[in-house]
C-alpha cells in the first residue's frame, strides 16, 4: 500500500500540504486565504488554535489549516467548537460551517450558541446552495430564485444569518466577502479579538451550482456600512438595546445594495465568566493539564459526599 499521508506542514505555517479538492474558482479559497493571513498576523501558536468544520465543501477547511482540527458531523461544527472552548478556555477556537450546515441542520445550535456567548469565531460560508450534494437550495437562497442546479424555483423564504445572529444574542455580528480578502481578513481578526461569540457571514459564490449569486452579482452591490458612518460598537447594555434594532434594519437590506462590515460589536459577559459564577475555580485551574490521578490513584475523594447520604 502506498502511504497517502500528506507531507507534514512546516511547523510555523498555518497551511497544511493537503491537496485541496474545492472546484477551481470556488469562493472557499478566499476564505481559506484570509483565515491563514489572519492567523499569521495574530501569531497564535498553532497548537493553541482549534478549527472545527461540519459537513459540506466549506467544512473541509479544517484539513487545509495547520492547527488542531475537528471535522465533525453535519450541522455540529458550532456545537463542538463551543465545547472545546468550554473544556479549555485557553484555546483560540474557530468554527466553520456552510449555510446549510449552520442554518439548516444546525440551526438549533446557532440559536442556542447566542444564548451562551462562548468566546469563539463562527465563519458562515454563505453561497445559497448545498454544493457537495450538487447544488440543492440552502436556507439562505433568496426567495423565488432558481439557480441552474435546482429543479424548481425556491419557494421558501431565506434565513437572514445577520438578523438571526442578532436575535439569538451573538455579540459580534459581521458580513464580509470572499473576493475581498483584505476586508475579510480584517473582519476575521476583529472577530477573533472580540471577547464573545462572533459571527462572520461570508458572501461566497459557488461557481459550479449557483449561477445567480456570482462575483458579478456581488461586486457592484456590496458596500461597507462602516464606511458609510455605521458605528457597530455598543459600550453598554442600553447602547446595545438601542443599536440592535438599527443593526437589524441594516441586515434586512438586499437588492441593488447589499451591506457588509461589522453590524454589532458588544462586549458583555462571556460564557467562561458566567460559568465562573457557578464553578468558582473554572478557568483558573487547567482541566486538561491538571492531573486527575497520582500514579493511578484518583485525586478526587468522595468521602464527604458518601457521608451526606448517611
Partner 1 sequence: MIHDLNLMVAGPQGSGINFTSDTFAKVMAREGYHVFTNAELFSTIKGEHSYFRVRVCKDMIRSYSERIDILIPLDAKSVLLHLKELSHDGTIIYEENLDDPRHAAIPYKDILQTVATRFGKALSELNVMKNTVALAGATKMIGLDKEKLKKVISENFASKPKIAEMNNAIVDEVYAEFGQTRTFDLEPTTYKKRMFINSTHAVGMGKIEAGMKFQSYYPITPASDESNYLESIMDKYDFVVEQTEDEIAAINMAIAAANTGLRSATSTSGPGFSLMVEALSYAGMTETPVVIFYYQRAGPATGMPTRHEQGDLKYALSAGHGEFPRVVIAPGDHKEAFYDTIEAFNIAEKFQLPVIVLLDKAMAMSNYTVDPFDLSKITINRGKLILSETKDYLRYRFTEDGVSPRSVPGIKGGLITVAGDEHDEDGHIFTEDADNRIKMMDKRMHKMTSVLKEVPADLKVKFYGSPTNKKVIVSWGSAKGPILDAMEKAKDVSFLQIRMMEPFPVEEAMRYLKGKTIIDVEQNYSGQLADLLREKTGLEASTRILKFNGRPMAFEEMVEVLSKPKMEGREVLTYD
Using CB under 8 A as the binding rule, the residues of this chain from 80 to 109 that contact partner 1 are 80-84, 86-88, 90-91, 108-109
Residues facing 177 on adjacent strands: 203
- 8 A C-beta contact, residue 113 and residue 140: no
Q: Which residue, 227 or 284, is less far from partner 1 as judged by CB? A: 284
Grid cell of 25 as nine digits: 474558482
Q: Is 15 helix (H, G, I), strand (E, B) or coil?
A: strand
- 8 A C-beta contact, residue 97 and residue 79: no
- 8 A C-beta contact, residue 75 and residue 111: no
- Is 26 a binding residue for partner 1 by CB under 8 A? The answer is no
Residue of 13, 23, 63, 159 that binds partner 1 (CB under 8 A): 63
The residue whose grid cell reads 446595545 is 240
Near partner 1 by CB under 8 A, which window of 17-25, 141-149, 216-224, 249-257? 17-25
Rounded distance between C-alpha atoms, residue 86 and residue 271, angstroms: 8
- Is 164 a binding residue for partner 1 by CB under 8 A? The answer is no
- Is 248 a binding residue for partner 1 by CB under 8 A? The answer is no
Q: Is 199 helix (H, G, I), strand (E, B) or coil?
A: strand
Q: In angstroms, what is the minimal distance from the CB of 150 to partner 1?
A: 26
Rounded distance between C-alpha atoms, residue 48 and residue 42, angstroms: 12
Q: Which residue, 79 or 225, is less far from partner 1 as judged by CB? A: 79
Residues 267-306 that bind partner 1 (CB under 8 A): 275, 278-282, 285, 287-289, 292-293, 296-303, 305-306
12 CA to centre of own chain: 23
- Is 155 a binding residue for partner 1 by CB under 8 A? The answer is no
Q: Which residue, 155 or 309, is less far from partner 1 as judged by CB? A: 309
- Is 68 a binding residue for partner 1 by CB under 8 A? The answer is yes
- 8 A C-beta contact, residue 123 and residue 188: yes
Rounded distance between C-alpha atoms, residue 181 and residue 35, angstroms: 9
Rounded distance between C-alpha atoms, residue 193 and residue 183, angstroms: 15
Residue of 13, 18, 136, 274 that binds partner 1 (CB under 8 A): 18
Residue of 72, 97, 127, 168 that binds partner 1 (CB under 8 A): 72
- Is 117 a binding residue for partner 1 by CB under 8 A? The answer is no
Number of helical H runs and strand E runs in the chain:
10, 13
Residue of 6, 235, 236, 246 that binds partner 1 (CB under 8 A): 6
Rounded distance between C-alpha atoms, residue 178 and residue 105, angstroms: 23
- Is 133 a binding residue for partner 1 by CB under 8 A? The answer is no
Residues facing 132 on adjacent strands: none
Residue of 36, 37, 56, 76 that binds partner 1 (CB under 8 A): 76
Q: In angstroms, what is the minimal distance from the CB of 305 to partner 1?
A: 5
Q: Which residue, 17 or 236, is less far from partner 1 as judged by CB? A: 17
Q: Which residue, 218 or 271, is less far from partner 1 as judged by CB? A: 271
Number of residues this chain uses to bind partner 1 (CB under 8 A): 71
**Residues near 303 by Cβ (< 8 Å), separated by ≥ 6?**
none
Q: Which residue, 18 or 258, is less far from partner 1 as judged by CB? A: 18
- Is 70 a binding residue for partner 1 by CB under 8 A? The answer is yes
Residues 29-58 that bind partner 1 (CB under 8 A): 45-50, 52
Amino acid at each position: 500500500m502506498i502511504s497517502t499521508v500528506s507531507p507534514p506542514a512546516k511547523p510555523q505555517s498555518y497551511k497544511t500540504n493537503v491537496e485541496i479538492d474545492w472546484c477551481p474558482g470556488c469562493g472557499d479559497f478566499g476564505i481559506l486565504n484570509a483565515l491563514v493571513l489572519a492567523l499569521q498576523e495574530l501569531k497564535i501558536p498553532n497548537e493553541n488554535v482549534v478549527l472545527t468544520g461540519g459537513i459540506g465543501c466549506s467544512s473541509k477547511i479544517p484539513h487545509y489549516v495547520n492547527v488542531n482540527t475537528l471535522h465533525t458531523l453535519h450541522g455540529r461544527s458550532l456545537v463542538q467548537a463551543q465545547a472545546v472552548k468550554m473544556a479549555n478556555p485557553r484555546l483560540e477556537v474557530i468554527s466553520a460551517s456552510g449555510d446549510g450546515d449552520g442554518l439548516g441542520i444546525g440551526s438549533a445550535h446557532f440559536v442556542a450558541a447566542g444564548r451562551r456567548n462562548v468566546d469563539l469565531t463562527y465563519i458562515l460560508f454563505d453561497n445559497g446552495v448545498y454544493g457537495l450534494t450538487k447544488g440543492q437550495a440552502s436556507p439562505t437562497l433568496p426567495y423565488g430564485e432558481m439557480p441552474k442546479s435546482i429543479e424548481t424555483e425556491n419557494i421558501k423564504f431565506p434565513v437572514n444569518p445577520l438578523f438571526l445572529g442578532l436575535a439569538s444574542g451573538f455579540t459580534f455580528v459581521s458580513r464580509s466577502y470572499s473576493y475581498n480578502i483584505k476586508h475579510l481578513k480584517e473582519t476575521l481578526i476583529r472577530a477573533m479579538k472580540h471577547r464573545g461569540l462572533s459571527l462572520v457571514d461570508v458572501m461566497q459564490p459557488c461557481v459550479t451550482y449557483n449561477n445567480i449569486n456570482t462575483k458579478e452579482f456581488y461586486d457592484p452591490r456590496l458596500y461597507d456600512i462602516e464606511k458609510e458612518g455605521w458605528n457597530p460598537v455598543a459600550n453598554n447594555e442600553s447602547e446595545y438595546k438601542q443599536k440592535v434594532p438599527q443593526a437589524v434594519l441594516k441586515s434586512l437590506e438586499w437588492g441593488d445594495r447589499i451591506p457588509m462590515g461589522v453590524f454589532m460589536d458588544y462586549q458583555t459577559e462571556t460564557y467562561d465568566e458566567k460559568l465562573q459564577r457557578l464553578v468558582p475555580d473554572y478557568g483558573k485551574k487547567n482541566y486538561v493539564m491538571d492531573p486527575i490521578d497520582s500514579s493511578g490513584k484518583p485525586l478526587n475523594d468522595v468521602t464527604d459526599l458518601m457521608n451526606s447520604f448517611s
